[in-house]
Every structure is written in C-alpha cells, then in structure tokens.
Structure 1
Amino acid sequence: MNAIASVLVCLAYIGHARKPQKSSEQEDPAKTLATFLLALNGGIPSSSGTSISRPAVQMSTNPDAPIKLGVNGFGRIGRQVVRIAMDKDDFVVKHINSPMSPEYMKYLLEHDTVHGRFPGTVALSDNGLIINGLPVSLSATRDPTEIPWKDAGVEYVCESTGAFTTTEGCMKHIEGGAKKVIISAPAKDADTPTIVVGVNTDDYETSMKVVSCASCTTNGLAPIVKVINEKFGIKQGLMTTVHAATASQLTVDGSMKGADWRAGRAASANIIPSSTGAAKAVAKAYPVMKGKLTGMAFRVPTVDVSVVDLTCELEKETTYDDIKAEVKLASETYAKGIVGYTEDQVVSSDFVGETCSTVFDAGAGIMLTPTFVKLVSWYDNEWGYSTRLVDLVGTMAKVDGLEIKDESAVYFTARKVD
C-alpha cells in the first residue's frame, strides 16, 4: 500500500471511530482497529483467490475447550502456537514451561517483530499469566518429568525446545502427566511417527504417544510433491529452500560446533549455504518418495518466510499450464487450506502470516522439457508451520475421541476427488 493510500485508510478509520452510534450498535474498538491494521498491512485476499495474510482474529476465551494444551519451550514456534491455539474455540492453553521470567514471557507474547502485537490480553498473576482472561500456569524446569502437566490439566504437549526430539526423550512428558506429545521438529530416531498434515494425516492412530510434525520445510515441500506425484509422477527431484534466518544463527561472525563453519558466519550479512534433511524427510510421511528427493538450503538475511524451489523429472509428459491447473484444483478442493495458489506478482513479505503449508507461485516456475520442470512455492516457516502443528493436535484429539466443534479447521487430509 502506498503512502497516499495509507493516509486515506487512516483518515477513514479515524472518521469511523468518531462517528456517533446507537448504544445497541457500538462496535468493539479493538475489532475496528484490527480491521484497520489488516487493511493497512495489505491483509486482503489476492485476485487469484488465495489469502496471503491471516485475517483479523477473534481470540478464544473458552475455559472448557476440549483440547487442553501445554507448551514446553517459549521460542519462536512455542509463542506462535500459543497465539494460534488461543484463536481456536477447541483449544485452551493450560501451562507453559520455560526458563524465562513471567514478566519476560508476557513481554515476548505481547510484542513480536514479525507478527505484530498480540491481539488479545496478557496479564501477570501470582501463579503465572492470564491470557484473554484465562489462567495459564508456568514452570521453569529442564526436566520434563518435573513439569506439572497433570496438575495443570494438560493432555497434549507441544515440545518446542529442540532438546527432546525422540520418543524416549518425549516419554518423560508422559511420566509428568501428559497424554500425548507433538514434537515441533524432525524426529531424530526411527521409531517416532512423522505426520505432515494434508499428506499422511490419516496415519495417526490413538495408540501413538509421541509424533513429530516434521520441519517447516518438509511441510512446505511435501504437499506440493504429493499433488504433483499423484497426477504426473515424480522420477527424481532436487530441492533448494531459500530460508529465512532462524534463532540458531549468529548475528555476527562467531564459532559454531561441528564441521559446518559457514553456519557461524553473520546471518544479517550473508547468504549461507547449508544442509537440510527436509527433502529426504518427505519420505517419512509419503513413503513413495523414498530415494527420489534430496536437497540443500540457502539461509538468507530476512526474518521470516521461505521459499522452496523443486526441480524434478516427471514420469508423464505434460505442460506447465496443466501443472498449474492441477495445483489450482488442489488448492480449491482436495488440498484446500494446505496448498495455496497465486498468480500475483508476490515477494516474500507478502506471505507473513500465511496459514497454508505452502503457496504455489504460478508465475515463478519454468519448464525445460515436457518432463523436466522447476516449481516454486512459498511458506511462512513460523506461522504456517505453527498453524499445522495446532491442526495436528486437533487431528489427534478428534481421533482420540474428543468432541471437536470447529469443523472448518484443517484437521483431516481431504480425499482427492475423482
């Protein structure tokens, strides 16, 4: 939005706020302001029908919500999970474990450089935080067996510290009273099931105690791979993710453990080649891809939103127009809410707050031969991934027998229409 348009929107908001209204028609000032900010930040659905920004939210304040969620680790993913879960009527956040002080946790939840101010309310209490009027107890222990999940009433735990990425490690949460654990990272053992919502959601069974939500890049890649493979077949492919900087990187040159010396270079001043297991990990959720995909990453100095470049050899001859048509169909039907589609002239910042796992950029792909093509798809590696993690918890809860009211949520992979 240009400067003139911004001023016009601002004046319109001020005029609306000053306009007298009948008492029965008084609007919520916070809601009006949220709508104004949404317009100011370009949060309008694109002309192609794909929303490339999340809408203004109505924060949930249901203390009796069926899904009792706990969060271990209050970093980038942990905080977004809390924000997203608090926006769903089926969820209530009961407990957070983090070494941070309550005052600092309150501050970080309220203020976010990428995703903006928290749209609800946060206050301190004697026992923790009060979020949207609901009590959230806190603890600060490094031993999962000591986290009072049971006392807090938590059943599902988002494990987002990065320290516990195996079933053995996460079973300590079960010892502490939790019923299920969802790892917000790739599992580092062979026994932990990997569930990518929209790809193998139906693989979840209620007997599973610990599951991995894979990585943000696997979630950004796997749905596109599945759409293309089931229509055209993929013989083999190479993936490159141009990935926003993360908290694991350094702001200035420094030392890093291991042999990857380049990872220790300044994130704010370099494009840094890096390894990633995201492409190979697709096979954990979509086994037909085993041995067919591999890839690498470039870490770039942006704060959020990444893009997948998939160059692949197809089994069937086709045209790029046919590929676009299939992905567009998927975005509107059997993969709606998981796969997005846009023909707009987009750049990375347009996808901050995107809730789809991945948004296919129709104008960025190219085809060399009828079986050799480069496909480009964007993903918000923070918000989009955290949204899928919350959806995965919703899927698990529904399969586990909880009564879920939000039928609009993307809890189950939609079957492909014939």
Structure 2
Amino acid sequence: MKKKDIILKADNISKQYKLGLVGTGSINDDLKRWWYKIRGKENPFLKIGESNDRSTKGSSDYVWALQDINFEVERGEVVGIIGKNGAGKSTLLKILSKVTSPTTGEIKTKGRIASLLEVGTGFHGEMTGRENIYLNGAILGMTKKEIASKIDEIIDFSGCQRYIDTPVKRYSSGMTVRLAFAVAAFLEPEILVIDEVLAVGDAEFQKKAIGKMQDISKGEGRTVLFVSHNMAAVKNLCTRAIVLEHGKTVFEGGVDEAVDFYINMNVTPNSLPLHKRNDRKGYGDFLFWDIIKQKEDGSVSNIFLSGDTIIFVIQIKNKFKREIKDIRVDFGLNNSRDIRISWFSTSIFKERIVLNESKEDIEIHLEINNLPLKAGNYSLTANLIVDGVPQDWISNAVYFDIENGDFFKTGKIISSNQGDFLIKHKFLLNDE
C-alpha cells in the first residue's frame, strides 16, 4: 500500500478570542495566565468561553472561533473549506498561513505557503506592482533571479500590464486581486491558500483563476486550500471538502457529499407547517397539506443548483373523501422581490387528473428539469381547484433557494449578473 504524502496537518487546532478587548482585558487576568504558565499548569481561560454563534447573545466575553480542528491534506489535493459567514473559515486559513497563531494545537507543513486572504494582503501600497512582485517573492524565500524568470508570466496573467509600474494604492480592488493571485500562483509555493477574495474579481478573472488552480493541482502536483460560498466552483475544483459551523468541523469527506451536507444544513423551515397556515382562501373541502422539495435522487433539500432537477411532492387532504372528476393545481413562481416570473399548471395538459376512489390523501408530483434560474430565493404560490370550485389558495406556500450551477453542462459557471434566466442555446458556423 502506497504511503500517504501528507503535506499539511492540523492537529487539535483551537483559537480563542476575548470580545471587545486586546489580550485578556485586565492585569489580573494576564497575571493569572502567567502564574499558571510558570507553574506548568494549563491556561485557566481555556476552560471557559462559548462557541462562535454570532446569531445569539452569549454570557461570556470569551469565544472560540475554532475548536478542536483536525485534518490532513495530501500533496496535490484541492480541499474546499465551506461554511456560513462566521463559521471560522478565514480564521483557519490565517492560522494555516501563519498570519496568526492558534490558542491550542499545532500546524505541520512541508514547503512554502502562499496565501490570498484579503484584498491587498502582503502588498505595500506605496510600492509599484512590479516591486510588490519582488517583495512577495522574497517573503516566500525566492531569489531575485527566480522571481525575474516568472515576472513576465505574472504580469501577463494579471492583465495589469499598463499599471505594473504604478503604486498599488492606485489599483482598484479587482486589479489588486488579479495581481495578488498571479503572484501567489506563479511563484510556485507548495501550498496555495485562497479565501473568498476571488469573488472580488470579474467573471473572466474567476474563470482564469479556477483554471490556473486546476493546473496547479493536477499538472504541477501542488496543494490548494480553497474557501468559497460558490458551491458550483467548489464542486468543480475540489476533490474533498471540510464543512465548518460555529468553529467546529461538522463534516469532512467527498466534495459532493460535503456540499449536500452544507446545503441541507442551511434549510430554514417555514414558521408553520403548511396545513396549519390560516392565511388561505377557498372553499376548504380540499387542502394543501404539505409540499416537499426533493432532488432527483429523492433526497429532501431547500437549496438547488441552476441546472438541477427539482421535484415538488404535493400532498392534498380530501377532508370529506369526495370523488373527483377534475383536480387542477396551479403554481405561480415568484422571485425574491415577489414578482411573478413563471407559472405551472395541470390545466395546460390534455389529460385531466381524475380520482375515482374516495381517497383522503392525494399526492401529485411536479417535476421541473434543468432549472433555468439564476442564484436567488424563490417561492411558489399554490392554487387548488376541484371540479371547478376554488378549494385552497396560499401565497408563498413554499420557499427554496437556487445557487449558481453548471446549467450548460460545460464545466463553466454562469454568474448571477447575467440576467434572470438561463436558456439552452447553441452557435453554428454557417460555412457555405
């Protein structure tokens, strides 16, 4: 069996902060910590503190931005780190990049680490782009000759040729990120650490950056740690992923499974079950009881990618067990601004839905293939008509989220600013 080539190992990493103050916040606390240290005892402040849940008010001034993080990364792997804002992703990357130290635990690495954590990280504003390339190379331990051999590639990739001898303080955030990524990628570190900062770049640059990261990992055998809220980009680039929540690892495994776990972790149920909603209109002999959102594999979810298949399992209650000659279901699709953008109805089909038996529970499936929606929040307003009589109507009966996905099945992600809908199309060369 081939031995694993571990290039990075996080061993029991934790990071504690005191809210509002630097250090422990008082001479008494500092003395207490020092006294325990010289006696060879554990820091007493490690026994207190709360998890980093920013949505709740805590009772302690101490919070754990990270707690007991353990993982290994093999050479050539691309590992995604995903989680909601405040989950501890950036703190972990700063520790891995040695920008800050862990409160407990240890990071073990083999080789140089290049980091792209925030716009302008490692750049001196008064120095030109060219000078900053040499500065960053020197920080990575490279000689002037090594940097010079790569500088033309760096400048060309960044697209900042015209401004390369201008002080960086005059760059836009997008230009700064372009140059910073080019420096980090082309100066050949063994480990490349990339935070969500790539989102600052335009669609063209993001595509170039992801392509370069693929080349780095697959072609050159170097390791990439990648943080992003773009799940399609994570799926496209990473081989494995770690999910963080409130500073703790809640999942580690294959990228598809990790993304599914993260998506389902963020499901926010309606405050009331559908059958208990009283903001409804209609005669009421038949009621929408529940509407379940499923993926193509049958798993229940609240978040889907553009291009996915979504199945709405519509459960209807027949209160008086009446026979049905014609049941009509309409759904109005609304965007986050509550504007109607599409409509689905059984009435457009020739075949009527007829129920000859007096069933109490009725189930109808609405299947939508190749979701052509851009990223955003959507809802369905539900309407039920039985034998021509309006029975039940509920505004915004069900909500769901769409994230950018590989709609065209080309491996390329279309950003949200390219209109409201995605439409299948093709170009043909009329070469007569």
Structure 1 and Structure 2 fold alike (TM over 0.5):
no
Say which structure is richer in strand: 2
Structure number with larger C-alpha Rg: 2
Which structure is higher in RCO with an 8 Å CA cutoff and minimum separation 6?
1
Say which structure is richer in helix: 1
TM-score normalised by structure 1 residue count = 0.30
